[in-house]
Amino acid sequence: KSVIFKLWNGNASSKMLNPRLQKAKKDYLNANKHQVNFRIPKEAKKLTSKELLCDLKNQVKIRTLDGKESPFSNMGWETIVPRTVIHDLYPHGFKTCAVVTSAGAILNSSLGKEIDSHEAVLRFNAAPTKAYERDVGSKTTIRIINSQILAKPHYKFNTSEIYRNVTLVAWDPAPYTVNLHKWYKNPDYNLFIPYVEFRKKHPLQPFYIIHPKFIWQLWDVIQKNTQERIQPNPPSSGFIGILVMMSLCQEVNVYEYIPSVRQTDLCHYHEKYYDAACTLGAYHPLLYEKLLIQRMNKGTDSDLQRRGKVTLPGFSAINC
Ligand code: C5P
């Protein structure tokens, strides 16, 4: 529990994690699967909340594959990706938005009504609403999915209703250098073939693939603003989703990303699987993502601790 108190106060560190999670982080640092170059600044100045927000706004540009770059251009992807980029799909943006993480701690929160009251709601991966409406709501505007959802038959991406009637945003990490040829040949999970298939079957449903440049821009911002070396792996879907919504909404309300008093090792609200790594990170630099989000929180301590709610300004609402 004590690491949660430290998260609320913004002074958690990986040294507070259990030995298994510390070992996992060390192993990921040694493996450096995505060939990340660390460029750790000598004297990292701790930015204020405002500076951090402006840093994000200036450095992180939401970008999806447009099919114009090789090797995608050679395969006719210009006509496969949606004609309208995500920003133009929502030209007026959204006033207030909800980002609903899949954490077990959202069970018994009764946050459903509040979540549905926002103009747009973002959910992740295979997280259902059916049978959990009281706690997570029922509205879904955008769903962020990692490449495993498309590639593993278990998720029934082609047939499950949860991937229909929403805007889909898929992602997979390329190498840190963002070599699209290497990425296409060797993604973490092959999302390209199912993506093309789904686009052909449902041409009117907006469905994007995040440009890996965006993923690694986010990683750079996390590392730049953290005193320790972070896992050299992409940020979690949660962090990616928060940044997508900060680009589209005037205000972003994030639920159970930073854990509330309901904190639990239950990984997901919809699955009986227990692992502290889901909340504190093993593969993803999740603890550091959360510390960064905590620093930008404009909401109250009571909303954070009792409701697991963080409120962030969208990029359109800040003057830098
Ligand atoms: O596990 P999954 O990636 O589908 O969950 C969606 C996001 O919710 C994660 O990427 C993570 O940011 C967040 N999450 C969390 N704590 C959990 C489970 C998920 O912060 N216990």
Q: What is the pLDDT of residues 280-308, one digit of tens each?
A: 999 999 999 999 999 999 999 999 999 99
pLDDT at 46: 87
* Ligand 1 site-directed mutation target among 219, 231, 278, most atoms within 8 Å of CB: 278
For 172, counting Cβ atoms within 10 Å of its Cβ (0-12 exposed, 13-18 middle, 19+ buried), the class is: buried
| C-alpha separations of 44 from 17, 140, 223 in Å | 23, 39, 10
Q: Give the per-residue pLDDT at 45.
A: 77
* 102 in contact with ligand 1, CB cutoff 6 A: yes
Res. 112: pLDDT tops 80: yes
Q: In the chain, which ranges are continuous DSSP H helix?
A: 2-9, 19-31, 49-59, 86-89, 112-116, 133-136, 147-151, 180-185, 192-201, 212-224, 237-248, 277-280, 286-296, 301-307
Evaluate the omega torsion of the peptide bond into residue 313 and state whether it is cis, within 30 degrees of 0.
no
**What would the pLDDT profile of 69-102 be if each residue is shown by its tens digit?**
999 999 999 999 999 999 999 999 999 999 999 9
Question: Ligand 1 within 6 A of 103 CB?
Answer: yes
pLDDT, average across residues 233-241: 98
Mutation test of ligand 1: which of 21, 121, 124 has the most ligand atoms closer than 8 Å to its C-beta? 124
Question: For residues 39 and 26, which has the higher predicted lDDT (pLDDT)?
Answer: 26
147 lines ligand 1 (CB under 6 A): no
Ligand 1 near 279 CB (within 6 A): yes
Measured in Å, residue 49 CA sits from the centre of ligand 1 at 24
For residue 2, the CA-to-ligand 1 centroid distance in Å is 20
Instruction: Please check the confidence at residue 155 and state whether its pLDDT lies above 90.
Output: yes
Structure tokens at 164: 């229909």
Given this model, what pLDDT does residue 1 score? Answer: 63
Q: How far apart are CA 263 and CA 266, in angstroms?
A: 9
Task: Using the mean position of ligand 1's atoms as its centre, give its distance from the Cα of residue 97 in Å.
Answer: 18
Mean predicted confidence (pLDDT) in 55-63? 94
Q: How confident is the model at residue 44 (pLDDT cuts 50, 70, 90)?
A: low
Would the CB of 100 count as within 6 Å of ligand 1?
no
pLDDT surpassing 90 at residue 111? yes
Q: Is the pLDDT of residue 213 over 80?
A: yes
Residue 6 pLDDT exceeds 70 = yes
Query: Does 236 contact ligand 1 (Cβ within 6 A)?
Result: yes
- The verdict on domain 2-37+49-317 having CATH code 3.90.1480.20 is yes
Q: How high is the pLDDT of residue 41? A: 66
Q: Residue 38's pLDDT band (boundaries 50, 70, 90)?
A: confident
CB of 246 closer than 6 angstroms to any ligand 1 atom: no
Q: What percent of the chain has pLDDT over 70?
A: 98
| Distance from the alpha carbon of residue 17 to the mean position of ligand 1, in angstroms | 17
**What's the pLDDT score for residue 199?**
98
| Average pLDDT in the chain | 96
CA of 74 to the centre of ligand 1 (A): 35
Q: Is the CB of 237 under 6 A from ligand 1?
A: yes
User: Which atom from ligand 1 is nearest to the alpha carbon of 237?
Assistant: 10
Q: Which residues contact 156 (CB under 8 A, 6 or more apart)?
A: none
Write the CB contacts of 30 (distance below 8 Å, at least 6 apart in sequence). none
